[in-house]
């Protein structure tokens, strides 16, 4: 079963006990335990069940609004990418090396982002929308980790 802060195991008792004993704050996957506990604001739990529950998933079509003049921006860890799109067709893109992880000065980040937007906006007649990528974990419509 994927996602969430709970692990469901159906099957062998030894496998269940080993995983249950591992997924504790000082267990071998301590990073995973701490990460998921932080994201979901609940301590991870491991359950042995006779049968794995059926996933309760709903998907929604989002995005794909491509009409007009749009900017896409991706602030990566070692480079930033920006592109201009007119009615779904890319008319300009660039990838620039930057160092956001090792640069604490907020002006550096601000200037790099503004520079990217100005550069790309030059290639389209107007800006109808800007889309920005997110390297985050969202839960219950909240940014839990970014």
Q: What pLDDT, on the 0 to 100 scale, is given for residue 2?
A: 59
**What is the CA 15 to chain-centroid distance, rounded?**
31
Residue 67, CA distances (Å) to 71, 86, 98 in order: 12, 7, 30
- Does residue 93 share a domain with residue 35? no
pLDDT at 146 over 90: no
Alpha-carbon distance of 62 to 65, in angstroms, equals 8
If phi > 0 it is left, if psi is from -120 to 50 it is alpha, else beta; for residue 5 that is alpha
- Residue 14 within a domain: yes
- Does residue 91 share a domain with residue 28? no
In contact, 124 and 69? CB cutoff 8 Å: yes
Q: What pLDDT, on the 0 to 100 scale, is given for residue 48?
A: 93
In contact, 37 and 43? CB cutoff 8 Å: yes
Q: What pLDDT, on the 0 to 100 scale, is given for residue 114?
A: 94
CATH number, domain with residue 112: 3.30.420.40
Closest of 91, 44, 72, 89 to residue 132, by C-alpha: 72
Q: Domains in the chain: how many in total?
A: 2
DSSP state of 126: -
pLDDT at 3 over 70: no
pLDDT at 88 over 80: yes
- pLDDT band with cut points at 50, 70 and 90 for residue 91: very high
Alpha-carbon distance of 135 to 27, in angstroms, equals 27
pLDDT at 137 over 90: no
- Does residue 87 share a domain with residue 39? no
Alpha-carbon distance of 48 to 61, in angstroms, equals 34
If you count DSSP H runs as helices and E runs as strands, how many of each does the chain have, helices first?
3, 8
- Does residue 107 share a domain with residue 43? no
For 77, the domain range is 69-145
């Amino acid at each position: 079963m994927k996602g969430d802060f709970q692990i469901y195991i159906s099957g062998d008792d030894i496998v269940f006990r080993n995983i249950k004993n591992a997924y504790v704050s000082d267990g071998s996957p301590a990073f995973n335990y701490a990460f998921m506990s932080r994201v979901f604001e609940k301590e991870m739990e491991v359950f042995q069940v006779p049968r794995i529950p059926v996933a309760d998933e709903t998907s929604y079509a989002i995005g794909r609004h491509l009409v007009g003049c749009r900017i896409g921006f991706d602030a990566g860890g070692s480079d930033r990418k920006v592109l201009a799109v007119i009615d779904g067709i890319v008319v300009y893109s660039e990838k620039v090396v930057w160092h956001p992880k090792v640069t604490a000065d907020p002006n550096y980040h601000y200037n790099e982002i503004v520079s990217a937007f100005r550069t790309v906006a030059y290639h389209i007649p107007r800006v109808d929308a800007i889309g920005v990528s997110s390297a985050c974990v969202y839960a219950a419509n909240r940014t839990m980790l970014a």
